[in-house]
Amino acid sequence: MIHFEFIWLLAALPLPLLIYWLPAKKQVQSAPLKMPTLIKGIQAPEFTPHKKKGSLATLGLVWALLVLACTQPQWLGEAVNVPTEGREMMIAVDLSGSMQVEDMNLNGRTVNRLDMLKVVLGDFIERRSGDRLGLILFGDDAYMQTPMTFDRKTVQQMLDEAVLGLVGKQTAIGDAIALAVKRFDEKKESNRVLLLLTDGQNTAGKITPEQALELAVAKDITIYSVGIGADVMIQNSLFGARRVNPSSELDEESLQHLADETGGMYFRARASEDMSKIYQLLDELEPVEQEQQQMRPLTALFYWPLGLALFISAIALLINSLASRSFLLTRTSNQKENN
């Protein structure tokens, strides 16, 4: 719909008519200023009643368009939901070398842990409408891949573009937690949540998990930790098939401690189905903000009537100039023939 910011300015539309209908002053016999002509005997062209009415109509149209532009017409778009108070959720994804172990079943095929994580975590990100999400990738060090944003598509894209070995082959869990603590906004009304996804133990970094935990507790950050990896995997060799535990290096005790001390929970994801259930449970534990305000985007339209008024004025001036020039050439030609 169209909205006028200063609709009361439409009262100025009849002003030219009021001025036109005012009683005219008594005409002065001699003009105070005489305009010279280029050639003796040539006078300016006189306006016929038809031309006079056309000029008045053009001026009236230009005036109406200018008044319309001054009212600041705006187009109100469809209502858009804006969250009143957001939840800040930082997602820390492990990109260490062990994430390439192919012990996950996804849609009937065996994939590595990172590929499974991208698919299932992508669905979770899509559902977090109203939350500000951030993405941290960690290996030998921790890096902020996406700062806090409402743009879930960008977070999803950055996750999809992550590759194994991008940030090293070891696991800096402490650095990832410390970086998340540092990048959370200082908003008291915000629920700050860290989703930590890893398949190993802390083997690198400048900050230990215990030191990072102290920072998280001080900043009132809730940590939900997820241990990724199957318990049993069949490995073929020259001596036949044997059962191995691909998650032997997973430090579940440390991950459980991180979650307990911050009021969060520790989850174990042995398959893609477990991961989906974990995200569904997280939706219940940290529900998306439902109370939202609505805003209607405004698009300015004043330049349309203003531009049309300028265009009509330019055309009118051009026509008047051409008419005067044509009249002048005709009178000059007639004057030469008479001489």
Residue 37: predicted pLDDT: 46
Residue 28: predicted pLDDT: 47
124 and 159 Cβ atoms separated by less than 8 Å: no
Residue 39: predicted pLDDT: 41
Higher pLDDT, 305 or 24: 305
| Report for 128-137, 158-167, 205-214: range of highest mean pLDDT | 205-214
| Report for 134-138, 148-152, 201-205: range of highest mean pLDDT | 134-138
Q: How far apart are CA 129 and CA 81, in angstroms?
A: 10
Higher pLDDT, 293 or 287: 287
pLDDT digits (tens, 9 = 90+) for 58-84: 888 889 999 999 998 888 877 766 655
Q: Residues 163, 169, 170, 175: what is their CA dihedral angle, to the nearest 10 degrees?
A: -40
Q: How far apart are CA 245 and CA 168, in angstroms?
A: 23
Share of the chain above pLDDT 70, in %: 77
Residue 111: predicted pLDDT: 86
Residue 233: predicted pLDDT: 65
Helices (H), the chain: 15-21, 49-70, 113-127, 152-160, 173-183, 209-218, 252-261, 272-285, 303-338
Please report which helix (H) or strand (E) contains residue 81, including its range. strand 80-83
In which band, very low, low, confident or very high, does the pLDDT at 153 lie, cut at 50, 70 and 90? Answer: very high
pLDDT digits (tens, 9 = 90+) for 213-267: 999 999 989 999 999 888 866 666 666 566 666 677 888 899 999 999 999 999 9
In which band, very low, low, confident or very high, does the pLDDT at 49 lie, cut at 50, 70 and 90? Answer: low
Determine whether 63 is exposed, middle or buried from the number of CB atoms within 10 Å of its CB (0-12, 13-18, 19+). Answer: middle
Q: Which residues contact 125 (CB under 8 A, 6 or more apart)?
A: 91, 133, 152, 155, 156, 159
pLDDT(180) > 80: yes
Q: How far apart are CA 137 and CA 91, in angstroms?
A: 8
- pTM check: above 0.75: no
Q: What is the mean pLDDT of residues 164-188?
A: 84
Ordered by where they begin, the domains of the chain are: 1-15+53-78+296-320 (no CATH), 82-291 (3.40.50.410)
In which band, very low, low, confident or very high, does the pLDDT at 40 lie, cut at 50, 70 and 90? Answer: very low
In which band, very low, low, confident or very high, does the pLDDT at 308 lie, cut at 50, 70 and 90? Answer: very high
In which band, very low, low, confident or very high, does the pLDDT at 41 lie, cut at 50, 70 and 90? Answer: very low
Q: How far apart are CA 181 and CA 216, in angstroms?
A: 6
Least confident residue range of 92-101, 191-200, 287-296, 315-324: 287-296
Higher pLDDT, 264 or 326: 264
Residue 310: predicted pLDDT: 92
